Structure 1
């Protein structure tokens, strides 16, 4: 999942301008929710729909590809009248061509888009994907999906606000989180239990440093922000953080613990808790170093370490709670599922999206070593220490409605702003306060352009 996530943030900003121009050209009536194409009445009777063939386009390979193949096969077995023809594309290629594919009468019925303004918001504003509100009502998504996850799939129909309004995509029974991985063998050698609080983590890091270990494996050469955003989720008010990312101009970065998170990360760097040459270590090297045995802890996206079955028994995962004991974490489904506005079978397509949120599909994810969501009763193999921790984290986040989206969703250029300025902080060329000011300037400039 790591390569997908990194491609997501690297690609979407580059294609955003081109997508926006194309959308403006093709949007009916100059853009909008295309309500005329939404079904006036919907049916959940898939078996009664007759022979139906749907086209699905996604970017999943490896274990994720096996997961969607199994979901397709199981859905077809449940409904023998339905055939789903799947096409897979490179993430970058799909991101840059999906708008064109959805304009084609012979294009996909269902596809994976990227959340946020750069992809999903642009497709919805261009009238290329269905407003799914009728299906949300029919299937009960508003009550079955945690609010903080549901928001990631919504825009107002005037397309001025993300995070509220109508459903234009759905999540799935899988998630990707940012949390804390640990080397279980090193913890045992140091006589340390996995930390349960941020204070415990800092005490453990100090003990690891005193023992000659690298407390946190990390590299900032290419602007990696997982340590910053993972820590921010532990410190910030959940509601304010969601509101900041979802375009509330009254909420500022200082209100969402950005200054505190930057200050803490800089403190860790100054204490020597990162590798000595961390400023010259790129992301892939840092991952390889950690999996290879360097470092006790690492803040990372779930699934990004690429652990095999044996390695999963030697690395654990924790989602540190906030001071009040509630769990808040950065997380989202690894793709936004959309239905084409041109689909001739939107009822069946929506039924498949609903199926992708089912506990059965969540169990399939676990069976393939992927992190489940919306599935509290999945069975996780005890031999997989990392997956056990990841699944427990997802369960806690579901129960506490504790998801916050990726901070870079707040503007198309936010990822660069975070990464570049964090490097300046580490170099002593920018204060935490100035960092927070730069974050606000980026987000507020984007909001100004939106209005």
Structure 2
């Protein structure tokens, strides 16, 4: 059951439709507001008077419990503040957030997607606040690692991502892409937990021989987690970052994309993916994996929503690179928190964003089975999945191996990756053609930006 302050997305449909009608001829949302940060800011939440903030996000399961717990704690800390939360489907929120933020009755705070397709569009359209003044007020530049901070930054001329001003903040939890495994199945098969790509492939072959599905996978909605997870095993941290942030003359092939596509194609030919995955959607495949279908699954940490006995039934692997001992992994906060340019209470909204990066927020994440970030002094429960995930995050910290989500490199890159992953697995494009499509998408964007 949802908490009393949480409502479903249906409640906002009417206002979004009205905004859509008004902006149908202006996809960019009209005239952009100034991109400069507020000149006068305050951290005096208690002195702000009675304040009601609207929050929109897409989190369910343990992630929903996390945000609701922090809303409760923030309201207890500041009884003058009420936060009304709306939970939306991820696709709905990312596709309509620009419209919601143009609506006077839209959210004050929202969880956007990083990259050009969401956060960059919102910032360039003047729909979200420049948060530099609050970054100074709360010391975010000292508290947030630069590899994470840059995921929320754009130059104020919006020519460059990954540097400049803050237009969003991370959370005190992280989302990685890696490999989940069913520990019970590995034990039944007599297979050790793989620690390298070679060992993973050997385990997959043995699972196939034993009649198991080696890699649980859905293809109906263009699942790219396997492709991007494999890419991090072949591409260097420098090349992937430079490609996404538009630095230097890096090609998709140099980021490991061709090698990743080749490996995924070979796995499909070997029959290692879920049979008839073309007609299976993400949520169905996830539920099937939790019910015992498949030995391994590439996914985002936190996405499985593990609880109870599942926390010891499933483990997590952050594989090192295919050639070498360093570890590179996709990692970011699971959402870029933005403040609407129309909010009447920017100071209170910023205080809430700061609270979402606090020690309390990190510990709440760990307590709920999520992966904490930003604050080192967190007690990790003694369960398999969380110990594995926490170890993965520490490895990436030590190797400075975090890379952003690859689709941030252009507004249309997610579509390009999704379509070409489907075409690759259907045998209609070759691995090198996937890289060529990725290069063409990014080059066209950079040429027009």
Q: Give TM class, smaller chain.
A: 0.7 to 0.9
Q: Which residue of 2 aligns with 1:88?
A: 86
Matched, 1:26 2:31: yes
Matched, 1:311 2:326: no
Mapping for residues 4-403 of structure 1, pairs under 5 Å: 21-28=26-33, 32-33=34-35, 35=36, 38-47=37-46, 49-59=47-57, 60-80=59-79, 82-91=80-89, 92-104=91-103, 107-248=106-247, 250-322=249-321, 323-382=323-382, 384-403=383-402
Q: Deviations over 1:313-367 (max 9, x none)?
A: 2111111123543332222222211123333443332222112111211111222
Whether the 8 Å contact between 1:359 and 1:375 is mirrored in structure 2 is yes
Instruction: Give the match's secondary structure for 1:212.
Output: coil
Residues 1:286 and 1:108: Cα distance change in structure 2 (over 3 Å): closer
Q: Which residue of 2 aligns with 1:12?
A: none
Alpha-carbon distance, 1:115 to partner: 1.8
TM (normalized to structure 2)? Answer: 0.86
Distance in structure 2 (CA, Å) of the matches to 1:343 and 1:367: 32
Alpha-carbon distance, 1:425 to partner: 2.7
Distance in structure 2 (CA, Å) of the matches to 1:216 and 1:132: 42
Whether the 8 Å contact between 1:223 and 1:420 is mirrored in structure 2 is yes
Q: Deviations over 1:212-255 (max 9, x none)?
A: 33322223343221111111112211122122122336221011
Q: Deviations over 1:258-290 (max 9, x none)?
A: 111111122222233224544454434432332
Instruction: Give the match's secondary structure for 1:188.
Output: helix
Residues 1:330 and 1:197: Cα distance change in structure 2 (over 3 Å): same
Alpha-carbon distance, 1:173 to partner: 0.8
Alpha-carbon distance, 1:104 to partner: 5.0
Instruction: Give the match's secondary structure for 1:441.
Output: helix
Compare the two structures and name the one with the higher helix fraction.
Answer: 1
Instruction: Give the match's secondary structure for 2:30.
Output: helix
Moved >6 Å (runs of 4+):
none
Residues 1:71 and 1:401: Cα distance change in structure 2 (over 3 Å): farther
Instruction: Give the match's secondary structure for 1:200.
Output: helix
Whether the 8 Å contact between 2:117 and 2:412 is mirrored in structure 1 is no
Distance in structure 1 (CA, Å) of the matches to 2:126 and 2:186: 53
Residues 1:139 and 1:396: Cα distance change in structure 2 (over 3 Å): farther
Consecutive unaligned residues of structure 2, counting only runs of 5 or more, are 1-8, 10-19
Alpha-carbon distance, 1:182 to partner: 0.6
Whether the 8 Å contact between 1:215 and 1:297 is mirrored in structure 2 is yes
Alpha-carbon distance, 1:106 to partner: 5.6
How many residues in Structure 1 have an aligned counterpart in Structure 2? 426
Q: Deviations over 1:146-167 (max 9, x none)?
A: 2221121111100122221110
Q: Deviations over 1:136-187 (max 9, x none)?
A: 2232222321222112111110012222111000011122221101110111
Single out whichever of 52-61 and 151-160 deviates more from structure 2: 52-61
Q: Deviations over 1:187-212 (max 9, x none)?
A: 11222221222222122223333333
Distance in structure 1 (CA, Å) of the matches to 2:281 and 2:101: 36
Distance in structure 2 (CA, Å) of the matches to 1:70 and 1:276: 40
Distance in structure 2 (CA, Å) of the matches to 1:105 and 1:279: 42
Instruction: Give the match's secondary structure for 2:179.
Output: strand
Consecutive unaligned residues of structure 1, counting only runs of 5 or more, are 1-6, 8-14
Q: Which residue of 2 aligns with 1:4?
A: none
TM (normalized to structure 1)? Answer: 0.85
Residues 1:101 and 1:305: Cα distance change in structure 2 (over 3 Å): closer
Single out whichever of 189-198 and 236-245 deviates more from structure 2: 189-198
Instruction: Give the match's secondary structure for 1:21.
Output: coil
Distance in structure 1 (CA, Å) of the matches to 2:424 and 2:263: 11
Distance in structure 1 (CA, Å) of the matches to 2:387 and 2:262: 32
After superposition, the CA RMSD in angstroms is 2.7
Instruction: Give the match's secondary structure for 1:26.
Output: coil
Distance in structure 2 (CA, Å) of the matches to 1:220 and 1:314: 25
Instruction: Give the match's secondary structure for 1:162.
Output: coil
